[in-house]
Amino acid sequence: MSYVILQPRGPAVPVVGHVPHASTAIPGPVREEILLDDEGLARELVRLTDWHTDELFDWLGDRGGAMFV
């Protein structure tokens, strides 16, 4: 599974923003376990993805928090 840790852009404070659902990527081994066909999975991804949560919490880095995206 892929992730990025975004370091604070200002003086560090003890805050971490965890933004796990902004991606639609599904690793191959995980995809193999999903019973939906590609079309059904594409529909579910549109419905279940928390769109723009990474942008919603972007301010955190400016205030010294780190983000786990």
DSSP string, 2-67: ---EEPPSSS--S-EEE--SS-----HHHHHH--S-HHHHHHHHHHH--TTHHHHTTHHHHTT-EE
Query: Is the pLDDT higher at 20 or at 62?
Result: 62
Query: Is the pLDDT higher at 42 or at 4?
Result: 42
The pLDDT of residue 61 = 85
What are the extents of the domains in the chain? 5-68
- With 0-12 CB in 10 A as exposed, 13-18 as middle and 19+ as buried, what is 61? middle
The pLDDT of residue 41 = 97
pLDDT in tens, 16-56: 877 767 778 888 999 999 999 999 999 999 998 888 887 88
The pLDDT of residue 1 = 56
Give the span between the Cα atoms of 38 and 31, in whole angstroms: 10
What does the chain come to in residues?
Answer: 69
pTM: 0.57
